[in-house]
Amino acid sequence: MKNILITLIWFSVMTALNVQAQPYPAPDPDKIQVLIITGQHVHYWPDTTPGLKTALEDTGKFEVRVTEEFRGATAATLQNYDLLVMNYYDRRQDPVYRWGEEAEQAVEDFVRGGKGVVMYHLALGAFYHWTEWEKMSGGNWRDGRGHHSAQHDFDVDLIDRNHPITRGLKTPLRMEDDELYANLIYQPEGSYHVLATAYDDHSLYGENVRQPIPGPGIHQPILWTVDYGQGRVFVTTLGHDGEDVLHPTFVTTFTRGAEWAATGAVTLAIPPALAE
């Protein structure tokens, strides 16, 4: 009986060690390696993150992993990735949600060194006191700057149809029941490149608007790019909720922007309904 007990204990220990020793699946060398950074938000990231992951993986070009805790990350954390997708918002600057100096430096070096980032939706409102985040973003939601009317249908007008992300797409593209971001604070002219705009109809705000909106409306940047060091950033303000990130206009522009940010080129086919 004693020998049987010892044998069982030995088997359990060795099994545990074997499980712990199993390597994490190696990255597929034929696919763009993506890390989605999420886990903290005022929007319901458990809905949007799976949609972002699915949109990328369904193209067959991306292999996607997700982290819900990026605090404490290092350059080694990012060494196998080609692209970061930011679905993160730090609760109006509570220091506990900052990533830490080493992790933030790792992100900066990652992009400067030639890799890619997608800034998705309210990631533009994160990290008030991280100057390089704002430079990477091109435009940000800040106190007194950044608002939207109720979710509604609107047209996305392509203003640069020669960029790899937008080339071959028809204009306008229709987006349904989404937020139209407006009145963000932008980096100096020339430091970001606008690909698409949408008309912000001021009559949709009603009487509770908290920021000045003179005139009947204005075209607002919706999609843009930023060159950061040797790297590339694609910014989309679209995709407020789990349904929006499944919309064809969002999926097509998001995946094409992601491929461009990671590689500098776009090879993804355009769905016939969205082709010019």
Give the span between the Cα atoms of 146 and 142, in whole angstroms. Answer: 6
Give the span between the Cα atoms of 25 and 164, in whole angstroms. Answer: 32
Decide if 126 contacts 215 (C-beta within 8 A).
Answer: no
For the entire predicted model, the pTM comes to: 0.90
- The 10s digit of each residue's pLDDT in 83-124 is 999 999 986 667 777 899 999 999 999 999 999 999 999 999
Decide if 135 contacts 173 (C-beta within 8 A).
Answer: no
Q: What is the pLDDT of residue 17?
A: 36
Query: Max CA-CA distance within the chain?
Result: 87
Residue linked to tokens 């699915």: 54
With b for 16 or more beta-carbon neighbours within 10 A and e for fewer, the 74-92 pattern comes to eeebbeebbbbbbbbbbee
The low-confidence residues of the chain, meaning pLDDT below 70, are 1-24, 91-93
Q: What is the pLDDT of residue 24?
A: 65
Number of CB atoms found within 10 A of residue 160's CB: 15
Give the span between the Cα atoms of 65 and 52, in whole angstroms. Answer: 11
* Complete domains list, the chain, with CATH: 29-274 (3.40.50.880)
Q: What is the pLDDT of residue 5?
A: 45
